[in-house]
Chains A and B, each alone.
Chain A
């Protein structure tokens, strides 16, 4: 909402602060003021010029030569191409050597041999409006040489208010003035217009159907339209508005159109009452019927678009066809034009929900619909109609014909809300007495009286549809009292009954592991193109992202491609996030997962040569490290590459299995063709794993060994096709319980051992917690291991 500071001060002369201070006060007590703009910016040098005479340019048909009186010295000569310039007209003038608001300096030029000493400006050039077509004629009486700023009322500030949805009363200058005037409502006055013409309105209130100067007005849908007022003015002269009116509208960012439409817009911005003027001659009947649109009806609206109507929409129809979208936009056919003589004025209250629905269906949002949706003041209609009638009589002439009709099927009830001063203090945390509460509420129109017990009975003004409950009033008190005045005082609190979410805690630990492994945390898009079992969006932003992701890895792989494209060879990314799967029900299943993808060197480039590319053995360690935290108690298994790889789209795949939940995750090398990688890229590894909350078993201390351990090495020749894990399993199985650890410390393939075999060297460490082991028993154990390996796996000692 764009607000004119001058306009506010006219309505509330008691406002004394400068614009910036006022803006701050509005921000602190009502709604934020986003900007304060000085409207005179760049206009200081411009003056009003009067065109004394116009002559044709001898060399050019499209140009004219004007002599312009600018208040001092001889008239200056201006050559212009503007077609509508008139003798005796007043125009904004900028002289040679002076600058327009956009910084452009005007030069003395010769146009086809004729000297031009300056320029007459358009609205666009002045920065006050959008009209660039013609120069801007100032309507009214001015003094040549008078500053333009003053002539067009731009010695003013525009305050840009971000009015919240709960404050429809602040969508007009009157409401804002009431909010900020020191004495509130009692300080306000409606000023007279220049040349003000009064109107004696006789209002006839009827429940369903009535008439104004021969126009029948009927409400067929009282739910959609609880109140409709109408009046007829005959004999208007439609034309440009006087400068004071046009400028006022420009000051709040509106474009002047003609005096009748401008008058309705003026009252809209003053009293927050949307109004509409129909060309009476175009209303069939003449009648005005407020009803639901019928199936198959359509209307060409003011913006020139043909709109199909729907019974959910409310229309204003004449005797036969719709002539306006109620509360949204008028129809082109009944638009007020220069030929209009008689107008029918509409001043109505429409149901906010109905207008909202219509606006949604049509994708249309106008100044009027914006206000109707939020709720205007139903009791304020008569005053607004009277105001606009007087304004039209003043600026467009004509006479009010007959009575003003007021079809009011359901007169609004005033609302009374009780408030307890003790509750105000309880919720706000400081003692606020009745006097303070009255001081906050009464100036803005709430009427307080003694209620039951300690209660105060508060009559809510009709322009505050948002105030329905005690707490709404408490907010009014807090805000008017000033949030800044509440003390910054920490008080005691009790611990909560709510336990910490276990997923959040475990995700944090998984993140720690990934970061300690050297990974960078990424956040990727949760949207994906569709696939089997994926969850689709009803209203996606684009067709390529019309589903929710069912895995995290795919998105991360795209991020690796993104980094490859930027020349990055070493990429290590991980993400903790949600994957979605259709679950049959209305809501999808959500899985909290960790995924990682990595490629390039395992360590930064280093002279020691420890910076080879990541390999399968790193994959095993990384996966085991993550699984140990993310899915406690799970087990990592290698897979038969042939069987599973294709399905998982991994090479060298690994699986994470849980004893009770089955497959929790997988890892492996992405197939070379699976992503867009430059030739210099290394293998790309990835993993994805479900995060499962689990409480780790409580740790118990193990006593430190007191007896020495014994190490023995075992170099084995293992036939190819026999896995190390199988050998290890046999060693563990036949070893005595004293086997403390078992490690592989060397693997060899080559000429020193028979073809079809490889050598795997193991180190075994034995230790007993309660005695020193003897060599003899270790020897026995070792020979049992060797013979078991020989028997079961055909594995022999190397060099034996």
Chain B
């Protein structure tokens, strides 16, 4: 008896699924033959009711008939559905019609660039960190060895929220915050929004994305710095791209460097993208200034490190040949949807 009933339930379950899944009348007919035909298991089962002990014949027969009736109903309903579809112009039989489509989403070009940079530096052991966008003057300037009366700080460039609170002008304050909290080795990447008091034009935005990197440990040298940046550049821009490191000045790194890559469009010959120089500036970088270590309580004699910062929007503009930075912030769907393939 148990066997009889569980077989019935199994047939009910698989049979109803098969009916719902039938895609055209022919397939449905096959399903009918399989489950309700003369040689179907349900038919055979019904015939075997007489072999059961007499007291069990009635409930078994009733259940078997219930299942048969349910499957027949489902069969009928599905047949009607399919007939309606066929009547609607035999649409489903024309395989050249477009498939059922869904909207495709897309990441912002700045996110694409940030993600790729993070991915590459992850291979070099960097993890992502974060900090506040409204920063104290201490973290944004002073901890980074930048006294407020230094010519490198132009008051005109900084948004103030209060006498001691600014919108961070770079992601570098996170360097100091992380070092205060965690001992070396430090290997972090800081993607984030930064603010400069520049009105919108083709190449400036008052808020834009930057990414910062910092590596600190015993024995990190200028050679490690160069090799890490070169590794990144080859992975990001391609094996055939070359870099040049040239002197620069940032209050929180020393030696400081500006890193250029050979123009990926003209391969160094000079074109409009590189303003004829053959080089494209991608980052400011350098060895962490010992004053920064002193400010966060690291032993500047023992630890050394390097730091770098890149403008994500500028790199996205180069990579995707976007001529005007405002396109990044206008949110025109015809622009944003172009990045669904990326």
Contact = CB atoms under 8 A, between A and B. Distances in A.
Interface of A: 27-32, 164-167, 352-353, 356-357, 360, 373-374, 426-430, 469, 471-472, 474-475, 478-479, 483-484, 486-491, 493-501, 503-505, 508, 511, 514-527, 535-541, 548, 556, 559, 562-563, 566, 568, 570-573, 577-578, 580, 586-588, 590, 603-604, 606-608, 610, 708-711, 772, 775
B162 to A, nearest CB: 5
Given A498-B178, A772-B2, A578 B133 contact: yes
Interface in B173-199: 178, 182-188, 191, 193, 195, 197, 199
A29 B164 contact: no
Given A508-B115, A521-B108, A526-B207, 10 more contacts: A164-B247, A428-B222, A429-B224, A475-B255, A486-B222, A486-B226, A493-B185, A493-B215, A540-B159, A603-B101
Contacts of B103: 518-519, 570, 572, 603-604
A371 to B, nearest CB: 11
Given A475-B254, A708-B6, A500 B223 contact: no
The residue in A29, A474, A504, A519 that gathers the most chain B C-beta atoms within 10 A of its C-beta is: A504
Contacts of A586: 136, 161-162, 164-165
B255 A478 contact: yes
B185 A537 contact: no
B3 to A, nearest CB: 11
Contacts of B221: 426-430
A579 to B, nearest CB: 11
Given A491-B227, A504-B191, A590-B132, A607 B97 contact: yes
Contacts of B135: 587
A573 B335 CA distance: 12
Given A490-B227, A587-B134, A500 B107 contact: no
Contacts of B108: 521-523
Interface string B120-139: 00001111111011111000
B236 interface: no
Contacts of A606: 98, 100-101
B24 interface: no
Given A526-B207, A562-B330, A494 B106 contact: no
Nearest to B222: A428
A520 B127 contact: no
A654 to B, nearest CB: 21
B185 A518 contact: no
Contact of B107 (A429, A495, A511): A511
Contacts of A518: 102-105
Contact of A541 (B130, B199, B220, B224): B199
19 contacts: A356-B151, A427-B221, A430-B221, A491-B223, A491-B227, A493-B185, A493-B224, A494-B185, A499-B127, A500-B127, A521-B105, A522-B108, A523-B328, A537-B167, A538-B159, A568-B332, A570-B103, A573-B333, A586-B136
Given A518-B105, A772-B2, A495 B185 contact: yes
Nearest to B174: A501
Contact of A498 (B186, B289, B304, B331): B186
B254 A472 contact: yes
Interface string B85-117: 000000100000110111111111011000100
Contacts of B128: 500-501, 504-505
Given A500-B128, A518-B104, A772 B222 contact: no
Nearest to A522: B331
Contacts of B132: 587, 590
A748 to B, nearest CB: 16
Contacts of B330: 559, 562
A520 B182 CA distance: 36
B239 interface: no
A29 B247 contact: yes
B246 A493 contact: no
A607 B91 CA distance: 9
B332 A429 contact: no
A606 B98 CA distance: 8
A483 B257 contact: yes
B185 A497 contact: yes
B329 interface: yes
Contact of B331 (A517, A535, A573): A573
Interface in B232-290: 244-249, 254-258, 287, 289-290
Contacts of A29: 246-247
Contacts of B6: 708, 772
